[in-house]
Amino acid sequence: MKYFNQKTHTEKNAFTMIELVIVIVVLGILAAMAMPRMDRDMRQEAADHILSQIRYTQHLALNDYKQRFDNELWQRRFWHITFGSCSGNTVKFYMIGSDNDMTGSTNASFAKTEAAIDPVTGKPIFWQNGSICPEGGDGTVSEDIFLTYKFGIDTITNSCDDDNTDDAAHIAFDHLGRPFHGSKFTNANAVDYEGYADQRCTFTFTLSDGDSFQINIEPETGYAYIVGQEAS
């Protein structure tokens, strides 16, 4: 709006009270809409983080030929992500690695020296299953692996493994990106492909507030995605 200054005989721009009120109202509406977005969406953060780690595992497998047919346990050499519990089964974590020498136990375990390196922290993505796990780890491993501390995840189940518990929850990939899982992957008794996942594998993660999300890994392609967010 313009008004005329009688002393200087010039026109100046100014806001009316109504215009100022309208601007304040609009700013209030925008602020109200933005506030919920500023809160952390822990469920989405957790889903995105775990999905990225599954894809990182597949990436390692695609770049590292692990096929070896002179030992019935050769599938243990595949790069895999495995979920476990520590501190009396109260804290959930994950680790990524390859049991290259095939000496790990039957629950998809491997040595710290065989673990993948976190590209962000430069530390091993590893923790000993069943041991005590202080928040943040011990300084020698990536602290991002502790899902309970980082996101509040307290339950992990899956449709892939025989006992459906987080102590055996894992998914592996071969050099073509195809998924492998189950007891045949960790404890095969023949040189074959019995660990190959010929059906969709679904991991379900539940947070302490009861909220949950699922990640699917498709057979053949190994394509992983958040359920309900297929383009993720």
The Cα 126–Cα 94 span in angstroms is 7
Are both 23 and 104 inside the same structural domain? no
Residue ranges making up the domain that contains 20: 2-38
Q: What is the mean pLDDT of residues 212-221?
A: 95
Are both 50 and 90 inside the same structural domain? yes
Quick one: pLDDT at residue 79? 96
Count other Cβ atoms within 10 Å, centred on residue 147. Answer: 22
Are both 24 and 107 inside the same structural domain? no
CB 46, CB 147: distance < 8 Å? yes
Per the DSSP assignment, residues forming a β-bridge with 207 are: 153
Q: What is the pTM of this model?
A: 0.79
Are both 80 and 172 inside the same structural domain? yes
Number of domains present in the structure of the chain: 2
- With respect to residue 169, please indicate whether it lies within any of the assigned structural domains: yes
- With respect to residue 221, please indicate whether it lies within any of the assigned structural domains: yes
Are both 134 and 98 inside the same structural domain? yes
Are both 127 and 216 inside the same structural domain? yes
Are both 109 and 146 inside the same structural domain? yes
Are both 151 and 89 inside the same structural domain? yes
- With respect to residue 85, please indicate whether it lies within any of the assigned structural domains: yes
- Give tens-digit pLDDT for 97-134: 999 998 887 778 899 999 999 999 999 999 987 788 88
- With respect to residue 203, please indicate whether it lies within any of the assigned structural domains: yes
- With respect to residue 197, please indicate whether it lies within any of the assigned structural domains: yes
- Mean residue pLDDT across the chain: 84
Q: Is the pLDDT of residue 137 over 60?
A: yes
Are both 146 and 215 inside the same structural domain? yes
- With respect to residue 83, please indicate whether it lies within any of the assigned structural domains: yes
The Cα 216–Cα 230 span in angstroms is 9
- Give tens-digit pLDDT for 32-58: 665 554 456 899 999 999 999 999 999
Are both 33 and 49 inside the same structural domain? no
Quick one: pLDDT at residue 4? 46
- With respect to residue 232, please indicate whether it lies within any of the assigned structural domains: no
Q: Which helix (H) or strand (E) holds 155?
A: strand 153-158
Are both 125 and 142 inside the same structural domain? yes
Q: Which helix (H) or strand (E) holds 58?
A: helix 42-62
The Cα 107–Cα 188 span in angstroms is 12
CB 89, CB 99: distance < 8 Å? no
- Give tens-digit pLDDT for 138-189: 899 999 999 999 999 999 998 876 554 544 588 999 999 999 988 777 777 7
Question: How would residue 77 be classed by pLDDT, with cut points 50, 70 and 90?
Answer: very high
Are both 15 and 104 inside the same structural domain? no
